[in-house]
Amino acid sequence: MAADTASTPAEAAGPVPAGPAAGRPRARSWTGYLRYGAGKLGGAVVSLLAVLVTGFFLFRLIPGDPVRTLTGGRQVSAEQLDEYRREFGLDLPLWEQFTDYCGKALTGDLGTSYQFHAPVIDKITEALPNTLLLTGTAFVLYTALGMYLGTRSAWRHGRLGDRLHTGLALTLYSVPSFWLGLLLIIVFSVGLGPVPGLFPTGGMESGGEEGFGYVLDVAHHLVLPVITLVAVEYGQTLLVTRSALLDEMGSDYLTTARAKGLRDDLVRRRHAVPNALLPTVTLVFVNLGRTVAGVILVETVFSWPGLGGLFYQALSVPDLPLVQGLFLFFAAAVIVMNTLADLLYPLLDPRVGR
Amino acid sequence: MSTEAARRGPRALARQRRRRSAARFWQQYRTHRAGLLGLAALVLFALVALTAPLTVGSGVSDVTDAPGRPLEAPSGRFPLGTDRFGRDLLGLVVWGSRVSLLVGLLAAVLSVAIGAVVGISAGHFRGAYGTVLMRITDWFLVMPTLVLAIALATVMSRSLGTVVLAIGVTSWPTTARLVRAQTLAVESRPYIERARALGGGHWHVMTRHVLPNVMPLVLAQTTLMVSSSILAEATLAFLGLGDPTVVSWGGLLQDAREAGAVSAGDWWYLVPPGIAIALVALAFTLCGRAVESVLNPRLGVTR
């Protein structure tokens, strides 16, 4: 597995251009990358195990009987409580519970939802594509927008445009995503004053559509949630890109590039931006955790049938197996994405992973 | 003056030096227009929150004895309208500022305290201890903080303490990383070696030399952290994980949603609490960025 993932990028970036640098040892050798990749993968495995352990203890050792929480304060007889204990394996010693839980989690068995009476993993796989659609669209848009505006802001830092963009980004960054979503629904779905209701108030489809009509319908439902997510998330990318590029602004190599007579635009695109890219991409991935939070809220507000909406349904009961399963899933997903990003960095920047 | 201080001993000298650097700090802070704006907004919010018992009184959150009819639009009597129980929304927003600010501040202090302790000790005791600590920090850094906080708040009882704890113990890693970097920089200076040579132990070095040097950074970080804590508090309250017995901005938004204000188009119910959250969060962010750029002019924050 390690060799598989590692070999492709290393080959792709393999040939180092001969030139002044040809005498030096090659910037990144195959084995060097392999060692770097193996280290990152090892770290990821440890992180995933830590998530597994946290998931177990978080929902068991915290004050309060899980069964009591499960029944949500309803009147239940002692026999029923015992029944629940047996059903969820809570009558076993803690150590046995733990090994049992780990074994099941590793085979994809995350328990049974208390609320839906269905396997947690089925609920997750059911909702996952919808979340991927929403998050993916928003992720691409806010990263692109943030990087583009951040670059422009840094290049003209201190000017009016820069001040406006940073100000707007900071403001939107301070706005609670769920509130923005609710406002957008009021203005553009319910309709306010002269504005008619243009978009659906929630959900993912109106039903009854097929083929191309279905695609259009989903896209129609997608507009407001995506706008909300992009609006609250792009500021972070903008600010990081801006400060990364500002760090490069005084560099000698930029003066050299200008002295060569390159157009300003080319200096920015070909020389400054690639060097500022790495800190930006790193932070974009580190901030995925924050994006997960945004997704949970936006899906809740727009009743989007994804993982975030499911999480909200689970925690309002509270349906502990489902909350736990989703906690494991979100954490694992973020760790996996970050590891993928780590493995890609040497492609973006040869200084990494030597 | 300085001879006078010297006569009074090293404590007085240190105090005098700190007073001077505080004055210098203010001199530079004053040039940041956005920072001043944020500070002014904060003073205003603090005044509103502190004087709330005099201006609106705790009776404003009383459900049984509400002055108006449910969901009244803004009028002369109720400038922001009434909520679903007929309570005055303006009063509720003013009253809610107390909980939102309090929880935001406490959670930020808790989070920054954990971060500072972890950061200083990881930077001071390098080797296995420091490495393990930073591994844990990195793990927390990547974790979806809100999911962790939600999970914590779900399994614990509904109270303000839970909310503070859930936000505090999940949001410290950024601070820990920053403080550790600063600790490493401070500890490489010669005067630390001098302190050690004179017999200063770990505790002495950490509290007397490292801590005062990381304090400005900790201050900046706290200011920034309050803003995200207030947002986190509002989020938890909106998801129904806050203390249901107190009025907070996030709780008001949850009430509004539950009362069907969205589909009824009652924008006046939703707008004020949200604006209040955004303004306070923005004000803290502006102050934090100004403090940061005074301390570290290389950051290139616009004035």
Counted across chains A and B, CB pairs separated by less than 8 A come out at 157
Rounded Cα–Cα distance for residues B147 and A289 (Å): 9
For A20-34, b/e burial (b = at least 16 CB within 10 A) is eeeeeeeebeeebbb
Interface membership of A115 toward B (CB under 8 Å): no
Interface membership of B253 toward A (CB under 8 Å): yes
pTM score of the predicted model: 0.82
Q: Domain ranges in chain B?
A: 1-30, 31-299
Determine the pLDDT at residue A17. Answer: 39
Rounded Cα–Cα distance for residues B138 and B131 (Å): 10
Determine the pLDDT at residue A15. Answer: 37
Collect all residues of chain A within an 8 Å Cβ-Cβ radius of residue B150: 296, 311, 315, 323
Determine the pLDDT at residue B122. Answer: 93
Residue A18 lies in a domain: no
Which range (A123-127, B70-74, B280-284) has the least confidence? Answer: B70-74
Collect all residues of chain A within an 8 Å Cβ-Cβ radius of residue B265: 186, 190-192
Tokens found for residue A89: 């394996």
Mean pLDDT of B19-47: 89
Helix axes A212-249, A177-184, angle to 10 degrees: 140
Interface membership of A323 toward B (CB under 8 Å): yes
Residue B257 has pLDDT above 60, yes or no: yes
Mean pLDDT of B115-140: 90
Residue A334 lies in a domain: yes
Residue A246 lies in a domain: yes
Which range (A44-53, A82-91, A112-121) has the least confidence? Answer: A82-91
Tokens found for residue B210: 């490292």
Q: Which structural domain, as residue segments, surrounds residue A263?
A: 27-63+110-348
What is the number of other CB atoms lying within 10 angstroms of the CB of residue B300? 17
Determine the pLDDT at residue B298. Answer: 56
Q: Does A185 sit within 8 Å of B278, measured CB to CB?
A: no
Residue A223 lies in a domain: yes
Q: Which amino acid is at A191?
A: G
* CATH class entry, domain B31-299: mainly alpha
Residue B247 has pLDDT above 90, yes or no: no
The model's pLDDT over B200-219, given as tens digits with 9 standing for 90+, comes to 899 999 988 888 888 888 88
Determine the pLDDT at residue A145. Answer: 93
CATH number for the domain that contains residue A56: 1.10.3720.10
Determine the pLDDT at residue B282. Answer: 92
Interface membership of B240 toward A (CB under 8 Å): yes
The pLDDT > 70 percentage for chain B reads: 93
Residue B223 has pLDDT above 80, yes or no: yes
The pLDDT > 70 percentage for chain A reads: 84
Instruction: Give chain A's domain count.
Output: 1
Residue A78 has pLDDT above 90, yes or no: no
Which among B144, B147, B278 is the nearest to A175, CB-wise? B278
Determine the pLDDT at residue A3. Answer: 36
Whether the CB-CB separation of A112 and A321 falls below 8 Å is answered with yes
Residue A98 lies in a domain: no
Determine the pLDDT at residue A34. Answer: 85
Mean pLDDT of A20-39: 66
Tokens found for residue A183: 């406002």
Mean pLDDT of A124-135: 92
Determine the pLDDT at residue B115. Answer: 94
Determine the pLDDT at residue B283. Answer: 93
Residue B36 has pLDDT above 50, yes or no: yes
Nearest Cα of chain A lies from the Cα of B145 at a distance, in angstroms, of 6
Whether the CB-CB separation of B38 and B282 falls below 8 Å is answered with yes
Mutate to test the interface with A, among B133, B134, B150 (most CBs of A within 10 A): B150
Interface membership of B41 toward A (CB under 8 Å): no
Residue A102 lies in a domain: no
Q: Does A64 sit within 8 Å of B235, measured CB to CB?
A: no
What is the number of other CB atoms lying within 10 angstroms of the CB of residue A230? 21
Determine the pLDDT at residue A56. Answer: 85
**Measuring CA to CA, which residue among B64, B96, B90 is closest to residue B77?**
B90
Residue B9 has pLDDT above 70, yes or no: yes
Q: Which residue of A has its CA nearest to B228?
A: A174
